[in-house]
Structure 1
Amino acid sequence: MNIREQYELLEEKILSPLATKSKDTMGRLKPEEKCSIRTDFQRDRDRIIHSKAFRRLKHKTQVFIAPEGDHYRTRLTHTLEVSQIARTISRALRLNEDLTEAIALGHDLGHTPFGHTGEKVLDKISKNGFKHYEQSLRVVDFLERGTGLNLTYEVRNGILCHSGDLIADTNEGKVVKLADKIAYINHDIDDAIRAGILSFDDLPKECIKVLGKGHSDRINTMITSVINYALKFGEISLTGEIGQATWELREFMFKNVYIGSKAKTEEEKAVKMLETLYYYYINNIHKLPNEFKNKIDVWGEERVVCDFIAGMTDRYAINEFVNIYVPMPWGRIF
């Protein structure tokens, strides 16, 4: 019995009946030989961490566009916070922590430059539409490495279902969906206060009374509520008084930070920039990198241009725009 098989046997002994066991995976899109050391979900996690798409998250917007302050969250730090919260819940419930972590680390791989602003732009101007959670699945299925990462069904399903109305097939996927919300509600409050957009006194007092005054207090309250509900009812949910306070706080953030606040003062510029880049490449398809041009016959021009732009970091998009449309001083040309 090799190390992987020993660990799979250990999972049978220690994981909850609510957990997804590694040996019970529904498999990969393309069959491949199993690792002698790592379970399938461990391999998925490692493939995501070592991907270029994962590394690019460090230069993609969370809320504040191309932030220069060292302490503002980016899409990468958001991802790590989601992973930490999701792992805490999964460990307490004896779910499969490797599966949870793989889903959490991969959930935002398809996010555009400038966060949800970029997502809205591509969704509006592309006839195919655009959703970041669908693009995240597209990254791991097709785009990364040029052929995809060939992840297991459970990880792919969790990535696809982490946002919107879709519900994951696994409890680990459901945990990540809640952890995503717990993470961004709280860390975006922290960033908004740091940026001077909010003060602590602006936060809804009834919500704070229920959830706690401090950043870690609120996260702990939400996590504990999810764990206690799951232990009692066998379902992954954030309900009751704490759930209501959480969703009210989330609504407050949409009204006061995510829409129309000082955090969005540069949004119109980002919209114009991405629209301009999109139509530039549609009209100059030969300017695309070869790895994208080679896929036009398979996916079509619009899909390939969306893939290229969605993969850009904030600073890469800005540099592309400058290189294409901003004239360089004569002395810099030669």
Structure 2
Amino acid sequence: MTERERREAQEMRFLSPYACLSADSRGRARPVEPCPVRTCFQRDIDRIVHSKAFRRLMHKTQVFLHPEGDHYRTRMTHTIEVVRIARTLARGLQLNEDLTEAAAYGHDLGHTPFGHAGERVLNEIMPGGFEHNVQSLRVVDRLENDGDGLNLTYEVRRGILCHTGPDRAETLEGQILRLADKIAYINADIDDAMRGGIIYPMDIPLEISNVLGFTYSERIDTLTTDIIRESADIGALRQSDACREAMDNLREFMFEHVYRNPVAKGEESKAQGMLMRLFEYYCHDPDMLPPEFQDIRERESVERAVCDYIAGMTDNYAVEKYSAAFIPMSWGVK
């Protein structure tokens, strides 16, 4: 028996009857020989973490554009926080932690530079619209690995796609990701907003804090333990009425005081203008696209290739390409 087979046997003995077992995966679009050590979902974790798209997350905005300070979240640190919350939930419910972890690592691979500001502008100008969860799936299916994709398992792909939007993943592990993402970003954004002086602890309505707690760690602990307690042994994910209502109210509070705050979001229009002009620039002269996007240009469309290129940019790389395209370079005579 291989190490992988021993792990699969342990899953059968110890995981919940509602868990998705590695041995029962619906597999990959292109079959591969099983790894003797890793389960299929552990293998997917490694494929995502070693990808270029994952590394770029460290230089992509989470909420605040170019904040002054080392401790604000990036898209990378947000992803890691989602992973940890998702694994806690999966462990508490005796579900497959590896499947949950893989989907969590991949869920934001398709996010644009400059956070949701970049997503909104691409959605406006891209024919057919743009959604970061759909783009994340496109990254792992089409764009990574020199155009071959990462060839992930069906269950991980569905978790990535369904972490937001109207569709729901078939597995509880995939459904966990939607809750973990919301818990992570709401509480992290509160923490960053307080660090930046946008809001203060006493600004959070008392009726919310009385339910969820008064600190970052208290809120996360309350929300995760509530889901585990309410969902145990029922084959579905549930929140108590009190926690669900408090979490929804906290999200509304964040939209009113942070996500639409002109101090926190004052530079977003500049970022959106940059991306819009870059989109027009590359559509007008697609020969300027890197070689790896020329095949997409020929097989799909110029707009699709330009969208893929811009969506994959980091914040700084987008600024660099904008400067090269539209800002005169200095020169001198030697």
Q: TM-score range by the shorter chain?
A: over 0.9
Q: Show the counterpart of 2:69.
A: 69
Q: 1:238 maps to which residue?
A: 239
Counterparts of 1:6 and 1:209 in 2: how far apart (Å)? 46
Residue matched to 1:327 = 328
Residue matched to 1:229 = 230
Over the matched positions of the two proteins, sequence identity in percent amounts to 56
What is the letter of the counterpart of residue 294 of structure 1?
Answer: D
Asked whether the equivalents of residues 57 and 76 of structure 1 are also in contact (C-alpha less than 8 Å), the reply is yes
Residue in structure 1 matched with residue 317 of structure 2 by the alignment: 316
Find the aligned partners of 2:254 and 2:186 in 1 and give their Cα distance: 7
User: Partners in 2 of 1:234 and 1:210 — Cα distance?
Assistant: 25
1:38 is matched with: 38
Q: Determine the structure 1 residue equivalent to 2:211.
A: 210
Alpha-carbon deviation of 1:232?
Answer: 5.4
Q: Aligned residue for 1:281?
A: 282
Cα distance, 1:304 vs structure 2: 0.7
Aligned pairs for 1:98-109 within 5 A: 98-109=98-109
Number of equivalenced pairs: 333
Do the aligned residues in 2 keep the contact of 1:162 with 1:176 (CA within 8 Å)? Answer: yes
TM-score (norm 2): 0.98
**What is the DSSP-based 3-state SS (H/G/I as helix, E as strand, rest coil) of the residue aligned with 1:233?**
coil
CA distance in 1, matches of 2:324, 2:296: 25
Name the residue aligned to 1:84.
84
Q: Is the 8 A contact 1:45 1:98 kept in 2?
A: yes
Contact 1:57 1:74 in 2 (8 A): yes
Query: Following TM superposition, by how much is the alpha carbon of 1:173 offset from its aligned partner in structure 2, in angstroms?
Result: 0.7
Between the aligned partners of 1:224 and 1:230, the Cα distance in structure 2 is: 10
1:306-327, CA deviations, whole angstroms, 9 ceiling, x for partnerless residues? 0000000000001111111111
Which 5+ residue runs of structure 1 have no aligned equivalent?
none
2:96 matched to which residue of 1? 96
Cα distance, 1:205 vs. partner? 1.2
Which stretches in structure 2 are left out of the alignment for 5+ residues?
none
* 1:22 counterpart residue number: 22
CA distance in 2, matches of 1:158, 1:68: 34
- Cα–Cα, structure 1 residues 232 and 241, in superposed 2: closer, same or farther, change >3 Å? farther
1:159-197 residue CA offsets vs partner (Å, 9 max, x unmatched):
000012211111001111100000001000000000010
Aligned to 1:122: 122
- What is the distance in 2 between the residues matched to 1:56 and 1:239? 37
Whether the 8 Å contact between 2:134 and 2:161 is mirrored in structure 1 is: yes
Deviation above 6 Å: which 4+ runs of structure 1? none
Q: CA deviation at 1:252?
A: 0.7
